[in-house]
């Protein structure tokens, strides 16, 4: 094997090592982004659950008020 071929091989190996290093850094960045997005998704699910519970409570309150109004209107009809 000539010196020139060894130098070419060394350059290719170095390029491969550099590429691997860059890909490893990209993987780490993607892992961090994934962790951040996972935490955000978890928080959004939690917030959604709170909103659903609040919505259910408000709907129940609304139904209760409607029933009270109907009852009062019924009493008013009997008074007339």
- Model confidence, pTM: 0.62
Q: Tell me what pLDDT residue 79 has.
A: 77
**What distance in Å separates the CA atoms of residue 44 and residue 37, rounded to the nearest whole number?**
10
Helix/strand number for the chain, H first, E second: 1, 0
The whole-number mean pLDDT for each consecutive block of 10 residues of the chain, a chain of 80 residues, reads: 91 98 98 98 98 98 97 84
């Amino acid at each position: 094997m000539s010196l020139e071929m060894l130098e070419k091989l060394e350059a290719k190996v170095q390029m491969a090592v550099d590429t691997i290093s860059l890909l490893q850094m990209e993987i780490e960045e993607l892992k961090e982004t994934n962790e951040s997005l996972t935490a955000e998704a978890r928080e959004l699910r939690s917030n959604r659950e709170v909103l659903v519970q609040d919505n259910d409570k408000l709907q129940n309150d609304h139904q209760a008020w409607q029933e009270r109004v109907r009852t009062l209107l019924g009493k008013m009809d009997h008074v007339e």
